[in-house]
Amino acid sequence: MSSTSHLGRKFSKRALAAARQAPKSAWAWYVQEKIGSTDQSLTFADKVRELGSQWKNLSTEQKAPYRSKYEESKQNFISHKKNLSDEDRAQIKFWRKTRRDNQIESGATRTPSAYAKFVQANKEAFSTYDGDKKGKLAAVSKQLSEKWKSMTPEQKAVYQHSGSV
């Protein structure tokens, strides 16, 4: 079995392929088939928008071939996952974890929004709700949201330009 190295650990190509390839949706099968027949002067985003409106207007019968391709690819994906060895499963798990860790170390993760920074900084001040646990999150979220909406742009700018929380 051929393999590739990732951070000093050997991975079978089969295991890496299984980790990366989820089954294509019916929509993805449709786009793959039709993208070449769209107006070539359009940008990719415009082509996808056009195909999206066409997809919405298709009848169930017209979508059936794409749905059957999806079901077939889904069954192939499931059977492939079932046939993986324990070693391959461990490799996939390790690969996903190191990939996440590398994204965090390299700063490739998404920067929190100003609102997310505001929530992080102020959630303790609003956590005095005495209701049930399920209602607490909703109540605190609502209070934080209302506070954020009432703030001036100058007050919000503090969170936009602050470091990560």
- Residue 163 banded pLDDT, cuts 50, 70, 90: low
Residue spans per domain, the chain: 3-106, 114-160
- Decide if pLDDT at 142 tops 80: yes
Residue showing tokens 């390790």? 94
What kind of fold does domain 3-106 have according to CATH? Answer: DNA Binding (I), subunit A (1.10.30)
pTM: 0.48
Q: What is the pLDDT of residue 1?
A: 44
Residue 137 tokens, joined: 């999150």
Residue 29 makes CB contacts below 8 A (sequence gap 6+) with: 66, 69, 70, 73
- Mind listing the pLDDT tens digit for each residue in 75-133? 888 887 777 778 877 877 887 788 777 777 776 667 788 888 888 888 777 666 565 66
- Residue 135 banded pLDDT, cuts 50, 70, 90: low
- Mind listing the pLDDT tens digit for each residue in 53-76? 999 999 999 999 999 999 998 888
- Inter-residue contact 118 to 108 (CB < 8 Å): no
